[in-house]
Chains A and B, each alone.
Chain A
Amino acid sequence: MFEILTKEMLTPIICRMKVSAPRLAAAAQPGEFLIVRADEKGERIPLTISDFNREEGTVTIVTQRIGASTTDIIAYEAGESFADVVGPLGQPSEFIKMAPEELAKQRYILIAGGLGTAPVYPQAKWLKEHGVPVDVIIGAKTKDLLIYVDEMKEVCDNLFVCTDDGSYGFKGMGTNMLEHVVSEGHSYTQAVIIGPMIMMKFTTLTCKKLGIPAIVSLNTLMVDGTGMCGACRVSVGGKTRFACVEGPEFDGYEVDFDEAMRRQGQYKAEEAQTNEKHVCKIGRGQ
């Protein structure tokens, strides 16, 4: 069992939890993810690792209420335990393996959309700690859905925040923000884009236009997360790749986003049925 040590609601639908998972915390790297199964009847849900502390033996996960399973996860309170937390899964971010002289030439722009801000955080933190110039764009639909704004300020050189409705920061989407930032004279050697599939698609197009190489982190469907099921297959440069073991990060220029979006919605009909029937049993007394 994996105990939840702290829990806080970052927005009415986004929750941050620190979970005890010593083996996982000892091995985790930026860019990797984990899988949570709340209880015996739950799904295996892939979530990004938004922070880890090797000394404490803890990992931090950020979950947004989307369907039945994420609703169940969010219903857990500090002091309770998840049945399973397993990982780290996937490949660490590319910069982890880069030679110091290579790294010294880089200027990173990390572009986060909504919940994707959580996994951007450890990447910014790592780059900052290693003295690599790093700017961050956080985009959300509206002010209430912004997360990690204060935390992110601490781990990057320049933070740019935008909301679609202009309720906080720059009014516009991440793509508009990026064009604006570049037009003001900022230049970057590498973009990392993490957010909803549609946001990653269009932000990649903007990067292409601006001539910035773009890495995206794909949140595909998964069951085991270790290469067994193939639910996560994506076409990258015309080749089938498994996001769980070969990803989740890929060259955004090469990803077939339209196919990836279709595949992500493969179980929509079944999930709609489940959501209708599902009554969350957690936190209502046993």
Chain B
Amino acid sequence: MANRIPRVAVREQDPQVRAKNFEEVCYGYNREEAMLEASRCLHCKNPRCVGSCPVNIQIPEFIAKVAEGDIKGAAAIIAEDSSLPAVCGRVCPQETQCEGSCVLGVKGEPVAIGKLERFVADETIGQASATCAPANGIKVAVVGSGPAGLACASDLAKWGYDVTIFEALHKAGGVLEYGIPEFRLPKDKVLKHEIEEVRRLGVKIETDVIIGKTVTIDSLMDEEGFKAVFVGSGAGLPKFMGIPGENLCGVFSANEFLTRNNLMKAWREDYLTPIHAGKKVCVVGGGNVAMDAARTALRLGAEVHIVYRRTEAELPARKEEVHHAAEEGIIFDMLTNPVEVLGDEKGWVRALRCIKMELGEPDESGRRSPVAIPGSEFEIETETVIMALGTSPNPLISSTTKGLEITRRGCLVADENGATTRPGVFAGGDAVTGAATVILAMGAGRTAAKAIDEYLKK
């Protein structure tokens, strides 16, 4: 029967080869592979996968179309709920969402929903199927062109709103552009098309506009006629550890390292922006951003260590990313916590002074908290240190907008529909939750779009 077919393995670039280039790691399914994998879906009466998807894509329905070989039909079903399927098929943590709740996963391997979504999106790229309601002439501003903003803008445009996205950087995409590297999410081949698709719906994207500096939300609403605003400005501020030596030359935030590499294309010889990896790099942190920074440094020619204070089991990064990183030759220094960055006489990093950790009692989150082992300090010699400790929301908007409350952690206060403390201003994504995932941001963008529609119809 269908579920006796093993999960179809996906073809990937050889680890030794890809460790030296920025080409995409995963090749994705071809048509035969996709149809075979699609045939494994049991089409459960109560599909748990749909409920576990933050944007509730009709997963069994699109998979049925793939199994029939009707890829365009599958794309149309996905497009009802997602404006970025080629992106999500690549970067979503499917193992904890749709695939994590797949019934087949109880005894065997779940359906490769992510890889199927990616296949459908790649096959139909540039052949958009979503349509828009007649224009209603009501202006809505969206702050930020990351996943939350793009999802919110797409829905509103489909319903006939006149939507303008304001982007602070010179390129649209937010973290998809500056944060996620080319080898996980190709920019020209994939991202560009998905953003084009949002533009095709009639959404205008104005780059080089920093809300809070170039214009304020107040002026957008009072002077430029925007009736509602969605803030999806993300969590862009890097965190540092606050240990001695962090301002030495050769210590970078993962944000800086990745922005130079991805947005500014420093890895390409024909682009002018410089980047520094050197011979040996220590990346501090264990999330997806840490993996991205580590694998980028590796591709720039460095020996790379991930320094993390818990064990491999607690790494917050996706399993697939950790697995790929290890395959490529990243060295994992677990139960290790930096206490100081040591410099040479010229003010450059010489070594990272660390202390050994052990796991203690579980904390409120249920994770066993790491405890330092007294007297176990040691040095890791290194040329570069990259801090990948998470990010927090940028205060540029909250500090320049009247009546917009924030939490103690600097996140915008918003209710479950995305309504902030200021009427007409909605928010979602990392700006509200703190750093999370692309798909959660998209989900929040869609929820807020609904709330904006209701607010404007009142």
A228–B213 contact, CB under 8 A? no
**B158 interface hit (Cβ, 8 Å):** no
B238 to chain A: closest residue by CB = A230
**B396 interface hit (Cβ, 8 Å):** yes
Q: Which chain B residues lie closer than 8 Å to A266 at the CB level?
A: 249-250, 276
B272–A69 contact, CB under 8 A? yes
8 intermolecular pairs with C-beta atoms under 8 Å apart: A86-B170, A86-B214, A87-B213, A226-B396, A229-B259, A263-B249, A270-B274, A274-B274
Chain A residues within CB distance 8 Å of chain B: 23-24, 27, 37, 41-44, 68-69, 72, 83-89, 223-224, 226-231, 233-235, 240, 245, 259, 262-263, 265-267, 269-271, 274, 277-278
Contact of B213 among A89, A262, A263 (CB under 8 A): A89
Q: Which chain B residues lie closer than 8 Å to A235 at the CB level?
A: 247
Interface string of B267-278 (1 = CB under 8 A from A): 001111111100
Alpha-carbon distance A85/B246, docked complex (angstroms) = 31
**B210 interface hit (Cβ, 8 Å):** yes
Majority DSSP secondary structure for residues of B touching A: loop
B170–A230 contact, CB under 8 A? no
Alpha-carbon distance A27/B219, docked complex (angstroms) = 11
Q: Which chain B residues lie closer than 8 Å to A86 at the CB level?
A: 168, 170, 208-210, 214
A226–B246 contact, CB under 8 A? no
**Interface residues in B306-346 (C-beta closer than 8 Å to A):** 346
**B83 interface hit (Cβ, 8 Å):** no
B253–A229 contact, CB under 8 A? yes
Q: Apart from A223-B260, A240-B247, what are 14 other A-B pairs with CB-CB below 8 Å?
A: A41-B272, A43-B272, A68-B272, A84-B170, A226-B236, A227-B237, A228-B255, A228-B256, A228-B394, A229-B260, A230-B240, A230-B252, A263-B247, A270-B276
**B207 interface hit (Cβ, 8 Å):** yes
Interface residues contributed by chain B, number (CB under 8 Å): 40
Q: Which chain A residues lie closer than 8 Å to B276 at the CB level?
A: 266-267, 269-270
B214 to chain A: closest residue by CB = A23
Contact of A27 among B169, B207, B215 (CB under 8 A): B215
A87–B214 contact, CB under 8 A? yes
B272–A274 contact, CB under 8 A? yes
Q: Which chain A residues lie closer than 8 Å to B274 at the CB level?
A: 267, 270-271, 274
B384 to chain A, nearest CB (A): 11
Q: Which chain A residues lie closer than 8 Å to B372 at the CB level?
A: none
Chain B residues within CB distance 8 Å of chain A: 168-170, 178, 207-210, 213-215, 236-238, 240, 246-247, 249-250, 252-253, 255-256, 259-260, 263-265, 269-276, 346-347, 394, 396
Alpha-carbon distance A271/B275, docked complex (angstroms) = 9
B247–A224 contact, CB under 8 A? no
A85 to chain B, nearest CB (A): 7
A83–B272 contact, CB under 8 A? no
B272 to chain A, nearest CB (A): 5
Q: Which chain A residues lie closer than 8 Å to B178 at the CB level?
A: 224, 228
Q: Which chain A residues lie closer than 8 Å to B263 at the CB level?
A: 223
A23–B272 contact, CB under 8 A? no
A259 to chain B: closest residue by CB = B247
Contact of B238 among A88, A229, A263, A277 (CB under 8 A): A229
B119 to chain A, nearest CB (A): 31
Contact of A88 among B214, B249, B252, B270 (CB under 8 A): B214
Q: Which chain A residues lie closer than 8 Å to B247 at the CB level?
A: 233-235, 240, 259, 263
B338 to chain A, nearest CB (A): 16
Alpha-carbon distance A239/B209, docked complex (angstroms) = 30
Alpha-carbon distance A85/B271, docked complex (angstroms) = 18
A241 to chain B, nearest CB (A): 10
Alpha-carbon distance A224/B250, docked complex (angstroms) = 18
Most central of A88, A240, A267 by chain B CB within 10 Å? A267
Alpha-carbon distance A72/B275, docked complex (angstroms) = 19
Q: Which chain A residues lie closer than 8 Å to B347 at the CB level?
A: 259, 262
A230–B255 contact, CB under 8 A? yes
B156 to chain A, nearest CB (A): 23
A234 to chain B: closest residue by CB = B247
